[in-house]
Chains A and B, each alone.
Chain A
Amino acid sequence: MTIVAQVRRLSATAGHAVLVDNVSFDVYAGQVTALVGASGSGKTTSALALLGECGNGVQLTGEVVVGDTTVVDSNGVTAAAAAVRGRVVAYMPQHPGSALNPARRVGATLKELERLHHPGESVAQEAIRAAQLPGDRDTLRRFPHEFSGGQRQRVALAQALTCRPEVLVLDEPSTGLDSVTRLQLANELKDLAGQGFGILLLSHDLDLVRELASHIVVLNAGRVIGDVLPLSIDPPKPGPSTPGKPLLQATKLSASVRPRGRTPILYDVDLTVRSGASVGVVGRSGSGKTTLARCLAGLHERSTGNLLLDGAPLPVLRKRTREQNRRVQYVWQEVRGSFDERRAVDQQVARTAQRLRGLAAEQARAEAVATLARLGVSAMTAARPPSRLSGGELQRAALARAVLAEPDVLICDEITTALDDDGTALVVDLLNELKARGTALVWIGHDLGLVASVTDHVLVLDAGRVVEEGPSARVMTEPRHELTQRLVRAARLGREPEPPPKLPTPPFDTADPRSEPRR
């Protein structure tokens, strides 16, 4: 095993704050080394040290050697560091699509990197092939905005590969991917490692890490705390269901992007949720899951079909009464924008109980704090403004905000994307309790494994149509539609081949490793 990058006793300090403390790891040619940890645990700082890069006012010490070049020594970043950037270490940022210059043709940058790092060799063409882009002249003459989001990621990868680095650093590559694309990514990364690149993978996606990594470094608050992954928690269980009367009924629900049914995105969806039961909606990104949720919540007004709550017609959100607002609550994916930046999160969570249930301020606040605590967000954290909370904490705060309305129907749209297994378990636990009290749940997600494990009934959406539906257990074990089969395969990434092992549930730690503020 050839070591291509060696990090020894790396520390990063900014004034008195210690960002990274005494971290050591190696990256091997042809293998994947994973840095695992929550956001803020020092993954990115450690990885950027391979480039000899650090933020303003940050001092790096220790020893970092990439290839044969020492980029960090006891005095900080060395002068030789500039020469390794690209040529020896290439870094892929978290959203590589936004790392493309809108003013430059794709080919021009690739050619430029080729001339810079490997003049006279046709590495660009090879990189384009490895990144699975068409290498014709037309493609190369296009500008980044003329590619789709997925292709832009490939272009960014082609740029990194054109440098023919020894170490490829990938920062959270699976963020925002649906489960089928994520499986594809895992296979492609395996290929890249097979071609001899030493890969440093930064991720909090434990399944992906489990699938790919030969070496694991677990970071917490800037320190290495281990080299094995935390045990995988048994998938959450749906909890007892006592289906009662149908609460929310949607029939022939269709929706379009433009007025009068032009550019349709949802076709004739039927969905019924009974009180005390849960329905899951699964599909790839762009399949219409969120549109369906928005239709149910009354946010998508360009829709047709019938929507009944308790047998009475349910109008669009603008026309709903306060009582109807209280009874149907929606928690969506991008929660940061739904919080007022200037007010403390707990106040905003409590506000629903005040407005929709007429509770006194004191009482509402007490309930808010209690619900947040159940979800693993401490009172101290919740008293901060939203910018000081991590994505996962805000997601849970948004859920708490909806729960405080004591809704009859709760629509949850990808509410666990920023949560680790522990956080997810807390959320599922709370939702199961609500269900036992008679709340009807609609659970939307891209991960069939998770959705099927927490719901009784699943709809699979593809391109705006329901392609399969049935009891969750049946869908998982005998998927009929081709897409469902792919989703089932993708859900097994990083876990043992079927069937998923039934381990005894470990007593999980309620202290959430992700609960540090973002900065």
Chain B
Amino acid sequence: MRSYAAGRAALAVVQLAVLSVLVFALTSLLPGDAADLRFTETLSPEQVERLREQLGLDQPAAERFGHWFGQVLTGDLGTSLISGGPVVDIVRDSVGATLVLTIATLAIVVPLAVALGILMGTRENGRLDRTITSITLALSAIPDFVIAVVLVAVFSLKLGWLPATWIGGDLLTSPVLLVLPVAVLLGRTVCLLSRQVRAGTINTLNADYITQARRLGVPRRRLLFRHVLPNAAVPGVQELARTGDTLLGGVLVVEAIFAIPGFATALVDAVETRDLPVVQALTLVLAVAALLLNLLADLTCNRLVPRSALLK
């Protein structure tokens, strides 16, 4: 068990190293650079060349990577080419809103999806199972922006109960800001997650060891929560890591509609202005988060069902 955790963590470190190279390489592939984009209108080609030199953009890629990676390791994500301020500030400012949104969504999704998944799984193909399946599938099939627009139209414009955007709002003073974005994000995540829990529950209920536990007289409720759930949760936990990933990446549509100053917005802005240090930093943060989430999911699964580690 412990050795599994150690092995898995070591793997994560390797993944992290590979990842940082990839992030750097991919962002370098973006056509044009900051010098091009900012000043082509006003500067002569020689001046652009000088600026490029000044920004260090004329160095070979390997050297730039070494420089960048060294800085990252010391916690310095560099300076924005556009605003001139430290990249760390930009990351911090954009991560906050996304993090709150993600946590709020997961706090609702996890219990809801587990409950629905178990309900459906224990009544496989029953009326309740089919009803819930239809509803969640339908919700996940409707595009985010449609749900968002409808919700805004109904609850903000018509009824006036909830704010339509985050502009001028502050999360600390008005948490109601969260209600509509979270509602939009729920649809698909609940569907995906509950289906995984459902499948896990059905699989586990059919397992020999559950039949045996029932025959040895373990009462139903205990059977469900102590014997079935840990096994049934495994696919759910893996799906949860993926969901967390997506949510942290910031769901662009939701951020755009509700004017949330989040991660996706910051990333798109940085790409548009070829602000490479910011793009790299944001991508790296996201990648690290994804890595950690998956590490956490694997360790959790291994804790729940130790054998699952051996199956890899």
Contacts and interface: CB of A to CB of B under 8 A. Distances in A.
Interface stretch (A87-95, A302-310, A326-334): A87-95
A112 B223 CA distance: 11
A93 B310 contact: no
Interface string B196-235: 0000000000011111111111110010001100110000
Nearest to A109: B213
Nearest to A48: B215
Given A85-B217, A104-B227, A156 B310 contact: no
Contacts, number: 77
A131 to B, nearest CB: 14
Nearest to A53: B215
Interface in A145-198: 145-146, 156, 159-160, 163
A170 B123 CA distance: 31
A143 B215 contact: no
Given A102-B209, A102-B307, A116 B217 contact: yes
B204 to A, nearest CB: 9
A113 B208 contact: no
Contacts of A53: 215
Given A102-B307, A143-B306, A86 B209 contact: no
B230 A99 contact: no
Interface string A52-78: 010000000000000000000000000
A103 interface: yes
A85 B304 contact: no
Which of the listed residues B213, B218, B222, B227 has the most CB atoms from chain A within 10 Å of its own CB?
Answer: B213
Nearest to A98: B208
Contacts of A101: 207, 209-210, 213, 227, 231
Contacts of A269: none
Contact of B217 (A100, A109, A145, A163): A163
A98 B214 CA distance: 14
Interface size, B (range): 20 to 34
Contacts of B212: 91, 93, 96, 99-100, 156, 159
A100 B209 CA distance: 5
B286 interface: no
A103 B305 contact: yes
A200 to B, nearest CB: 14
Contacts of A91: 212, 215
A101 B228 CA distance: 9
Contacts of B218: 86, 112-113, 116
A268 B214 CA distance: 50
B249 to A, nearest CB: 31
Interface in A100-154: 100-104, 109, 112-113, 116-117, 143-146
Consensus secondary structure, chain A interface: helix
Contacts of B231: 101-103
A51 interface: yes
Contacts of B208: 93, 95, 98-99
Contacts of A99: 208-209, 211-212
Nearest to B216: A86
Contacts of A84: 217
Contacts of B213: 101, 109
Interface residues of A, number: 33
Given A86-B216, A102-B305, A112 B209 contact: no
Contacts of A93: 208, 211-212
B37 to A, nearest CB: 55
A113 B231 CA distance: 19
A146 B212 CA distance: 20
B116 to A, nearest CB: 21
Which of the listed residues A91, A103, A143 has the most CB atoms from chain B within 10 Å of its own CB?
Answer: A103
B306 A117 contact: no
B216 A113 contact: yes
A343 B219 CA distance: 44
Nearest to A144: B307
A85 B307 contact: no
B216 A90 contact: yes
Interface string B83-112: 000000000000000000000000000000
B197 to A, nearest CB: 15
Nearest to B1: A143
Nearest to A92: B212
A68 to B, nearest CB: 17
B231 to A, nearest CB: 5
B122 to A, nearest CB: 15
B209 A98 contact: yes
Which of the listed residues A85, A101, A102, A113 has the most CB atoms from chain B within 10 Å of its own CB?
Answer: A101
A494 to B, nearest CB: 28
Contacts of A159: 212, 216
B214 to A, nearest CB: 7
Contacts of B207: 101
Nearest to A145: B307
B299 to A, nearest CB: 15
Nearest to A162: B216
Interface string B101-134: 0000000000000000000000000000000000
Interface string A377-411: 00000000000000000000000000000000000
Which of the listed residues B211, B215, B216, B310 has the most CB atoms from chain A within 10 Å of its own CB?
Answer: B216
Contacts of B304: 103
Given A99-B211, A101-B227, A101-B231, A86 B217 contact: yes
A83 B208 CA distance: 21
Nearest to A146: B306
A321 B218 CA distance: 59
A190 B213 CA distance: 25
Nearest to B303: A103
A116 B230 CA distance: 20
9 contacts: A91-B215, A100-B209, A101-B213, A102-B209, A102-B306, A103-B306, A113-B216, A113-B217, A143-B307
Interface of A: 51, 53, 82-87, 90-91, 93, 95-96, 98-104, 109, 112-113, 116-117, 143-146, 156, 159-160, 163
By Cβ-Cβ distance, the 4 closest A-B pairs, closest first, are A86-B217, A99-B212, A103-B230, A86-B216
Given A84-B217, A87-B217, 12 more contacts: A85-B216, A91-B215, A93-B208, A93-B211, A101-B213, A101-B227, A103-B307, A104-B227, A112-B222, A116-B217, A146-B306, A159-B216
